[in-house]
Structure 1
Amino acid sequence: MRRIAIFTDDPGWHGRQLTQAFAEHGYRAEYVSLAECRLTPAPGQLPLWIPGFEHALPEAAFVRGVPGGSLEEVVLYLDVLHALKLLGIPVYNDGRAIERSVDKGMTSFLLQRAGLPTPPTWVLRDPEEARRIAENELRNGHLLISKPLFGSQGEGIRRIEKMTDLFWLTSSRGVYYLQRFVHAAGEGYHDHRVFVINGRAVAAMRRRGKSWLNNVAQGAECEWIEASAELAELAVRATLALDMDYAGVDIMLDRDGRYTVIEVNSVPAWKGLESVCDVNIAALLAEDLLGRYLGLGCVQPPAIEIR
């Protein structure tokens, strides 16, 4: 049977969904941790050692998770993804897309460079300058969000609301990532998550947070929405700006009625999204990977497409 590698350290529900989706097309999915892979450039052997694929590399790789770690460890994980692509193995999303999105500073830079609405952001090392920026924002009536440069699911994020909060202004391994807080339109806290596959917005939901954090992992409630053309277009353009196969794009409608792109996730979860819509995300992901990269000839779902 033809085989696909799913890179993850926690297969869980998402892994099972993907395994079933690939199996329906005659592919067996194997879970692999990037932490267990290694480069083996030597004569007479495969240049990559991947558990379960010691004698033949997978036909494709699906990136469901990249472990954290030291700079050297993360570089090695990305080297494995880059090496697979150089060897002609499709990687979904590939190492370049992972690099661009896992680094929130580069994500903000690329969104702004593409002309997309995104909050004013500062990424720097100098603690005194970071404090001056925060003080200036507060004096001008703006709240700030302090985030770890690398992170997900709302972990490690603080909101700077008043001068005394500056005592809690901390760096992420020596780097400060500060972003102007965006107030949502209407009552309460909420944002939009749009799921994009191959330049198409295939599903969307509104996330209502218990606090200013709208992550499902932090307890936000999900509500299906029919994405407007403007919302879908912004999500697609954000995905194209980071050159991704698929992504979860977080967008807020602010108090002035304008959409703002907050984050672009290259390994997004979709369990919450599927709980409020009838779209089989795993099936669409598998069909896109196999159709575009392995010539399976799958039909793309009808959706808004931006070129």
Structure 2
Amino acid sequence: MKVLVVNDIVTNRSRGLAVALERRGCETVTAALSEIGFDTGSPSGLAIPGLGAGELPDAVLVRSVAAGSFEAITRRLGVLHALARLGVPVWNSAQAIERCVDKSMTTFLLQRAGLPTPATFAVEGRDAAQAIVAHEAGPLVLKPLFGAQGRGIRLVRSTEDLPPEADVSGVYYLQRYVPRPGPPFRDYRVFVCADRVLAMMLRRGDDWITNINRGATPEGLVSPDGELEKLAIAAARAVGADFAGVDILPDAEGRLFILEVNSMPAWSGLQSVVAVDIADAIAEALLDFLAARADTPASLLPASAAC
């Protein structure tokens, strides 16, 4: 079995995925989406580095997609759509990645699934954003629509705190601030794979933005009542992710709110405080999925899994 690991930067974590797959008898090929081309002269319509002309992998595991222009990202996600159209299982699918990269769609899907998420607004233009800030009684959190690791997040208490349109590409994604005790502040990262929680951690930090790269400290966590696991699994299902890092925040009264679902989650901080080998668990889950899929009649497979 040949698995394509999609990654723009090869790190210890992506190498861990390849090692885990190879330990289970797979051959792995690693390539960035930017290196995979559409080629109508190829039998498959794609040209994939490391594979023969027209050759396709048995599965694709998406570790990361590099930032780029709107045109570049559209083309790269098009490659994933094309692979799925050719019948190649893709973890995570282009659709799941699109849903998670766009925070407005993530929160829309969470709300439609009946899951607890803070009141959220996504509008174009500073005038529309000012109207929301003026209407809301408490502070709001402004986040980049496309962004990760806490970069570009700011607290908005009044219309004067709103940045110029040029700073946010004209789009204001505003989420009601969830009050909680601190410092230290805390929230949870729950790693879900194939409808199962692999690991969880509590992030504790002096900053209300509790990302590990901003200085927060990870701590291993076992949920005594299972509520975190239930919410995280439901959130991953809501966006259609095969694996995901789900960020969950407790308010001052202990109520839980889902903030984000990351379809290309980093797990260095999490791996440092849990016993389970996350890369190994992802590899095992993918191969279990492929084995189950091989036993399923083609007529019962979802439409996205067949040409």
TM-score, normalised on structure 1? 0.90
The aligned counterpart of 2:304 is: none
Answering whether residue 202 of structure 2 is matched by residue 238 of structure 1, we say: no
- My pick for the range that moved more, 177-186 or 206-215, is 177-186
The aligned counterpart of 1:158 is: 154
The 1:148/1:54 distance shift into structure 2, 3 A limit, reads: farther
The aligned counterpart of 2:247 is: 250
In structure 2, C-alpha distance between the alignment counterparts of 1:235 and 1:171, rounded to whole Å: 32
Q: 1:189 aligns with which of 185, 190, 193?
A: 185
Answering whether residue 66 of structure 2 is matched by residue 62 of structure 1, we say: no
Q: 1:289 aligns with which of 286, 289, 294?
A: 286
- My pick for the range that moved more, 101-110 or 145-154, is 145-154
Q: For residue 201 of structure 1, report the CA deviation from its aligned partner.
A: 1.4
CA deviations on 1:29-66 (whole Å, 9 max, x unpaired) are: 22211111111124x63311111123322121110111
- Superposition pairs for residues 115-130 of structure 1, below 5 Å? 115-130=114-129
Q: For residue 17 of structure 1, report the CA deviation from its aligned partner.
A: 1.1
Counterpart residue identity of residue 178, structure 2? V
- My pick for the range that moved more, 179-188 or 209-218, is 179-188
Counterpart residue identity of residue 45, structure 2? P
The aligned counterpart of 1:216 is: 212
- My pick for the range that moved more, 266-275 or 184-193, is 184-193
Counterpart residue identity of residue 263, structure 2? S
Q: For residue 148 of structure 1, report the CA deviation from its aligned partner.
A: 1.0
Contact kept, 8 Å, 1:193 with 1:206, in 2: the verdict is yes
- Superposition pairs for residues 1-307 of structure 1, below 5 Å? 2-42=1-41, 45-55=43-53, 56-137=55-136, 140=137, 142-162=138-158, 164-166=160-162, 172-185=168-181, 187-227=183-223, 228-295=225-292
In structure 2, C-alpha distance between the alignment counterparts of 1:167 and 1:272, rounded to whole Å: 31
Local SS of the residue matching 1:278? coil
Q: For residue 181 of structure 1, report the CA deviation from its aligned partner.
A: 1.2
In structure 1, C-alpha distance between the alignment counterparts of 2:211 and 2:179, rounded to whole Å: 15
In structure 1, C-alpha distance between the alignment counterparts of 2:16 and 2:30, rounded to whole Å: 12
Q: For residue 171 of structure 1, report the CA deviation from its aligned partner.
A: 5.2
Local SS of the residue matching 1:67? coil
Counterpart residue identity of residue 188, structure 2? H
Contact kept, 8 Å, 1:148 with 1:171, in 2: the verdict is no
- My pick for the range that moved more, 166-175 or 25-34, is 166-175
In structure 2, C-alpha distance between the alignment counterparts of 1:296 and 1:5, rounded to whole Å: 18
- Give 5+ residue unaligned stretches, structure 1: 298-307
Contact kept, 8 Å, 1:239 with 1:247, in 2: the verdict is yes
The 1:181/1:256 distance shift into structure 2, 3 A limit, reads: same
Contact kept, 8 Å, 1:290 with 1:296, in 2: the verdict is no
In structure 1, C-alpha distance between the alignment counterparts of 2:92 and 2:200, rounded to whole Å: 20
The 1:50/1:172 distance shift into structure 2, 3 A limit, reads: farther
- Give 5+ residue unaligned stretches, structure 2: 295-307
Counterpart residue identity of residue 47, structure 1? G
The aligned counterpart of 1:304 is: none
In structure 2, C-alpha distance between the alignment counterparts of 1:47 and 1:164, rounded to whole Å: 51
The aligned counterpart of 2:303 is: none
Contact kept, 8 Å, 2:6 with 2:63, in 1: the verdict is yes
The 1:188/1:40 distance shift into structure 2, 3 A limit, reads: same
In structure 1, C-alpha distance between the alignment counterparts of 2:107 and 2:175, rounded to whole Å: 9
Backbone CA RMSD of aligned residues: 1.9
Local SS of the residue matching 1:244? coil
- My pick for the range that moved more, 105-114 or 66-75, is 66-75
Local SS of the residue matching 2:76? helix
